[in-house]
Amino acid sequence: MFFCLPLSCKNNGQSSGSNDEPKPDFKEKYFSQILDHFNYNSMGNGTYLQRYLITDQYWKKGHGPIFFYTGNEGDIWAFALNSGFITELAAEQSALLIFAEHRYYGKSLPFGKDSFNIPEVGLLTVEQALADYAVMITDLRKELNAEACPVVVFGGSYGGMLSVYMRLRYPNVVAGALAASAPILSTAGMGDSAQFFRDVTADFENYSPACRDAVEGAFQKLQTLAQLQDYARIKTEFALCKTPSSSQDVHQLNGFLRNAFTLMAMLDYPYSTEFMGNMPAHPVKVACDTMLNRTDLMAALRDTVGIVYNSTGGMTCFDLYALYVECADPTGCGLGFDSLAWDYQACTEIEMCFESNNVTDMFPPMPFTEQQRQQYCARRWGVLPRLGWLKTQFWGDSLLTASNIIFSNGNLDPWANGGIRKSLSSSLIAINIAEGAHHLDLRASNPSDPDSVVKARQKEAEIIAQWVKLERSV
């Protein structure tokens, strides 16, 4: 799970967003935030500047609700410009709109370029991020004379997890949460390690069983070449910049290839996007059409991953280690500072031991055991992951004492089955979107939207309006 590909990272998210999306007049501001909420005598005995975007252009001042996006693992502009539904809703419900950046991402680096040193990185935790948001909301409400204005939090993916956690932790501060594509179970060690890549595979298989077979066949051909150590041929077939020279290089290639399918499954939107790299409309269809377009399976695979890595067609060869970095998250960490931060989170609180096994999925077996994770994390960050911690801290599936949370998921999204798929009570509501990929519902309305997401957004809007109304009456 990561939020910028090398190509899109460069523009820092600020020029992305499709032309169809509303363009709210965000002001970029910085909030003087407490560095360490849980230790009064730590190295972090001070403040840092936390970035946030705010617009009151839709707000009925002092009365309309506050819609607050709990920023996740990336530049906050990327989320603001790709979550047009929240803007539309703000306009409809006269809300103040705030997108807050997560500490250690984007420009919210507590220690600048030293933020990823040890021990400075230690203040990157879910709990600190939640406390940031609680403090920011509380202070901004005072500053803006908005103490009577109900706050609803929104988030997608890890940001959706944070929205859930905000409602669990701070129901005194937030009236409700829309958590889109939030895999709160699988990231808390309550998943099945085969689930993720099985569901990636299902997307391609559902489009066409032949597509799955072709991808699997291509990977098998690669394995055969690898066993023969025919590295020159591998270089040619996959248009690599450098000839592989070890099984480690082949492992890297497998990860690089698998990752393209992960992204196309997650971002299988009905129109082209620039959210996480440039993605065509219906990328799974495009991928399968590409896979099935030629008989040379390896060439087909090369062309198919090119949809992700070489969308402009300008790349003459693939630099494996520059385009894909293996990390503690087998679904990918991306590149750049943001990827460091996510790697650290995957090494500490967030559990993501997903593996492909070539039985329930179309990929080569790529085990990722807890032991491998531990070894990597100890070496890379000097930490050991805390198994079960997120489940203890944020309740796992024991959510019945909570209220006012929408868990939306798209059936196309490989993260979906790591989340809440059935309503747990009248105020813990699951919304499943048949034709939806990764938090499609948070994106702006689009003429290509399937009916299922249009209906989901309507339902979300109604429920949120109800929360706001009820909160006022308390």
Q: Point out the residues that are catalytic.
A: 157, 413, 438
274 CB neighbour count, 10 Å cutoff:
20
Residue placing its CB nearer to its own copies in the complex, 145 or 398: 398
Q: How many CB atoms lie within 10 A of CB 304?
A: 27
Rounded CA-CA distance 72/156 in Å is 8
Nearer to its own copies, 75 or 471 (CB): 471
Contacts (CB under 8 A) with its own copies, residues 129-148 = 131, 134-135, 138
Nearest approach, Cβ of 215 to its own copies (angstroms)? 38
Does residue 38 belong to the site contacting its own copies (CB under 8 A)? yes
Name the H helices within 58-145: 76-80, 84-93, 126-143
341 touches its own copies by CB under 8 A: no
CB of 98 to its own copies, least distance (A): 17
Beta carbon of residue 171, minimum distance to its own copies (angstroms, whole number)? 4
Q: Is 42 in the site for its own copies (CB under 8 A)?
A: yes
Residue 359 is a binding residue for its own copies (CB under 8 A): no
CA separation for the pair 19, 74 (Å, rounded): 21
Helix (H) or strand (E) run with residue 9 in it: helix 6-9
127 touches its own copies by CB under 8 A:
yes
Q: How far is the CB of 36 from its own copies (least distance, A)?
A: 8
Stretch 188-207 residues interacting with its own copies (CB under 8 A): none
- Nearer to its own copies (CB atom), residue 170 or residue 271: 170
Helix ranges (DSSP H) in 180-229: 195-207, 209-227
Are the C-beta atoms of residues 5 and 334 closer than 8 Å to each other?
yes
**DSSP code, position 445:** P
* Tokens matching residue 223: 């394995």
CA distances from 403 to 158, 220, 396, 398, 472 (A): 19, 48, 15, 12, 16
d(CA 280, CA 119): 41
Cβ at position 226, least distance to its own copies in Å? 36
Residue at token pair 């895999």: 183
Token pair for 186: 């699988």
- One of 121, 253, 335, 456 touching its own copies (CB under 8 A): 121
Show contacts with its own copies in window 391-420 (CB under 8 A): 392-393, 395-396, 398, 400-401, 403
Touching its own copies, residues 171-190 (CB under 8 A) = 171-173
Q: Which of 13, 24, 122, 364 binds its own copies (CB under 8 A)?
A: 122
Q: What is the CA radius of gyration of the chain?
A: 22
Query: Interface with its own copies by CB under 8 A: which range of 119-127, 189-197, 238-246, 364-372?
Result: 119-127
**Which range, of 222-230, 282-290, 352-360, 388-396, touches its own copies by CB under 8 A?**
388-396
| Distance in angstroms (rounded) separating the CA atoms of residues 57 and 434 | 33
Task: Note whether 470 binds its own copies by CB under 8 A.
Answer: no
Stretch that binds its own copies, among 221-229, 250-258, 365-373, 379-387 (CB under 8 A): 379-387
Locate 22 and state its tokens: 């509303």
Judged by CB, which is closer to its own copies: 38, or 321? 38
Which range in 19-27, 120-128, 203-211, 432-440 contacts its own copies by CB under 8 A?
Answer: 120-128
Strand partners, 32: 49
- Of residues 228-287, which lie at the interface with its own copies (CB under 8 A)? none
Spell out the residues 6+ positions from residue 2 whose beta carbon is closer than 8 angstroms to its own. Answer: 73, 74, 276, 329, 331, 332, 333, 334, 338, 339, 342
Compare residues 365 and 388 and give the one whose CB is closer to its own copies: 388
How far is 279 from 257, CA to CA, in rounded Å? 16
Which residues, 6 or more positions from 290, have their beta carbon under 8 angstroms from its beta carbon?
Answer: 300, 303, 304, 307
Considering only residues 144, 190, 299, 383, which one is a binding residue for its own copies as defined by CB under 8 A?
A: 383
Peptide bond into 119 cis (omega under 30): yes
382 is a site residue for its own copies (CB under 8 A): yes
From residue 57 to residue 96, the character string flagging contacts with its own copies as x (rule: CB under 8 A) and all else as - is ----------------------------------------
The CB density around residue 145, as the number of other CB atoms within 10 Å, is 10
Q: Which residues pair with 75 in a beta bridge?
A: none
Length of the chain: 474
Taking the complex as a whole, the smallest distance from the CB of residue 2 to its own copies amounts, in Å, to 20
How many residues bind its own copies (CB under 8 A)? The answer is 45
Q: Which is nearer to its own copies, 37 or 439 (CB)?
A: 37
Report yes or no: 204 and 182 within 8 Å, Cβ to Cβ. no
Sites of contact with its own copies (CB under 8 A): 34, 36-43, 45, 118-123, 125, 127-128, 131, 134-135, 138, 169-173, 347-348, 381-383, 386, 388-389, 392-393, 395-396, 398, 400-401, 403, 474
